[in-house]
């Protein structure tokens, strides 16, 4: 099943199960979805439940949050999360904080979903990763699926959750196919929020990743295996709440950690994971934590520059070898 179909079927099943669920966003209806994620849903559920909006994120996001205040369950699509910045006040101040500020009176069961992070050749304003922007805010849940199983299970969990959820998809993963079990295809399938998945077990080094980078980390693990390094790959699935227990348990087993993300390095997901491991498992670390992230520049357009600006499999392999003291660190060589 492709990730696209996984998301489509998850939306379909949740809309069928609960009449309060509705979709809102640019091109979600008549155009069948900018990336065809919402294909067929307008025909099936009608224009009262699948709403095409003008290009006014602040307006329609606020309307979505207001509807959630009253008890409906909106799924708001951002064509990419770059445009969510137009609406970020409503995501943070109107949605995330309301439950706390009202001492529990105002639950906001809303989902904000859409593609996040680097795509291909779309330039600086269309390639930003927002994982840490949202993950730093108490009151929000932030999910980042990788496989079709992740996409189905996490989106269903997000829609059923009574709190606001930011659901970060990846445009380049939409067309990828993953094997899915019968359990995943069942309409009641749901994944827990806040639990990471160990995609591949290992004993020499832990590699954490989310979204597209999970695929890269798995490829890196194959290459490392040929050099006798057994890497454990953790698919975070949930950026907030972060599954600190799984990460720390893994580091306590392997004693070495590489964090991988596509977004900018400063104050990134890797920074938070590193801090968490230093706080909870310092004595178990045999090497400094290695952070692999996107280059600290706005995303360039030229293909060769773009390739240099995002992590590649070789970068992950090199970092894992550095963590295992199999190569000299860049700083020591200079």
Partner 1 sequence: MALSHLKSSSSGSNFLKPLATAFSLRRPISTSTDPITVETSVPFTTHRCDPPSRTVETSPQELLSFFRDMATMRRMEIAADSLYKAKLIRGFCHLYDGQEAVAVGMEAAITKKDSIITAYRDHCTFLGRGGTLLEIFSELMGRQGGCSSGKGGSMHFYKKKSGFYGGHGIVGAQVPLGCGLAFAHKYNKDDAVAFALYGDGAANQGQLFEALNISALWDLPVILVYGMGTAEWRAAKSPSYYKRGDYVPGLKVDGMDAFAVKQACKFAKEHALKSGPI
For partner 1, the binding residues in 83-122 under the rule CB under 8 A are: 89-90, 93-94, 98, 100-103, 105-106
171 is catalytic: no
Whose tokens are 């990743």? That residue is: 209
Cβ neighbors of 234 (< 8 A, separation 6 or more) are 196, 197, 198, 199, 206, 207, 208, 209, 246, 247, 250
Left, alpha or beta for 139 (phi > 0: left; psi -120 to 50: alpha)?
A: left
Nearest-angstrom CA–CA distance, 197 and 147: 11
Among 62, 139, 265, 300, binds partner 1 (CB under 8 A): 62
We find the least distance from the C-beta atom of residue 53 to partner 1, in angstroms, to be 6
The only residue of 37, 67, 140, 191 in contact with partner 1, by rule CB under 8 A? 67
Q: 57, 171, 262, 290: which is the annotated catalytic residue?
A: 57
Is 146 among the residues that bind partner 1 (CB under 8 A)? no
Minimum Å gap between C-beta 59 and partner 1 is: 3
Q: Considering CB under 8 A, how many residues would be counted as binding partner 1?
A: 32
Nearest distance from C-beta of residue 97 to partner 1, angstroms: 9
Rank residues 8 and 53 by Cβ distance to partner 1 and give the closer one. Answer: 53
Candidates 8, 38, 53, 127; binder of partner 1 (CB under 8 A) is 53
Separation CA 63–CA 78 (nearest Å): 14
Distance of CA 73 to the CA centre of its chain: 21
Radius of gyration of the chain (CA): 20
The helix-helix angle for 313-323 and 212-226 (nearest 10°) equals 60
Can you tell me which of 63, 185, 271, 295 binds partner 1, judged by CB under 8 A?
63
Q: Which stretch binds partner 1 (CB under 8 A): 53-61, 124-132, 194-202, 220-228?
A: 53-61
Question: Closest approach of Cβ 49 to partner 1, in Å?
Answer: 8
Select from 5-13, 51-59, 208-216, 252-260 the region that touches partner 1 (CB under 8 A): 51-59
Nearer to partner 1, 69 or 81 (CB): 69
Residue closest to 161 by CA, chosen among 186, 181, 138, 191: 191
Q: What string marks each residue from 20 to 49 as x (binds partner 1 by CB under 8 A) or -? A: --x-------------------------x-
> What is the closest distance, in whole angstroms, from the C-beta atom of residue 34 to partner 1 in the complex?
18
Q: From residue 6, how far is each of 125, 143, 173, 189 by CA, in Å? A: 28, 15, 11, 12
- Whose tokens are 């357009």? That residue is 301
Q: 3 — phi, psi (to 5°)?
A: -60, -40
Do you find a cis peptide bond into 193, omega within 30 degrees of 0? Answer: no
Q: Is 57 an annotated catalytic residue? A: yes
Residues at the interface with partner 1 (CB under 8 A): 22, 48, 51, 53-54, 56, 58-72, 89-90, 93-94, 98, 100-103, 105-106
Active-site amino acid positions: 57, 126
């Amino acid at each position: 099943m492709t990730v696209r179909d996984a998301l489509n079927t998850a939306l379909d099943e949740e809309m069928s199960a609960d009449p309060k669920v509705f979709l809102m966003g640019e091109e979600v209806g008549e155009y069948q979805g900018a990336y065809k994620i919402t294909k067929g849903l307008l025909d099936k559920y009608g224009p009262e439940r699948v709403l095409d909006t003008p290009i006014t994120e602040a307006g329609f996001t606020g309307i979505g949050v207001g509807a959630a205040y009253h008890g409906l369950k909106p799924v708001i699509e951002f064509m990419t999360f770059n445009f969510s910045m137009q609406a970020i006040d409503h995501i943070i101040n109107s949605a995330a904080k309301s439950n706390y500020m009202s001492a529990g009176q105002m639950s906001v069961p809303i989902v904000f979903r859409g593609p996040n992070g680097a795509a291909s050749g779309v330039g600086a304003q269309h390639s930003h990763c927002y994982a840490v922007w949202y993950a730093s805010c108490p009151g929000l849940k932030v999910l980042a699926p990788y496989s079709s199983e992740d996409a189905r299970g996490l989106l269903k969990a997000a829609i059923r959750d009574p709190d606001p959820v930011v659901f970060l998809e990846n445009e380049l993963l939409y067309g990828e196919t993953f094997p899915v079990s019968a359990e995943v295809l069942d309409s009641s399938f749901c994944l827990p929020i806040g639990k990471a998945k160990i995609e591949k077990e290992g004993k020499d080094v832990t590699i954490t990743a989310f979204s597209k980078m999970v695929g890269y980390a798995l490829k890196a693990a194959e290459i490392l295996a040929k050099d006798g390094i057994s890497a454990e790959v953790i698919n975070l699935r949930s950026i907030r709440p972060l599954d600190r227990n799984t990460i720390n348990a893994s580091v306590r087993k392997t004693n070495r950690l590489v964090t991988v993300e596509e977004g900018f390095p400063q104050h990134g997901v890797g920074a938070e994971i590193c801090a968490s491991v230093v706080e909870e498992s310092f004595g178990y670390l045999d090497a400094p934590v290695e952070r692999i992230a996107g280059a600290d520049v706005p995303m360039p357009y030229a293909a060769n520059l773009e390739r240099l600006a995002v992590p590649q499999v070789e970068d992950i392999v090199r970092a894992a070898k550095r963590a295992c003291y199999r190569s000299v660190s860049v700083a020591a060589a200079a």
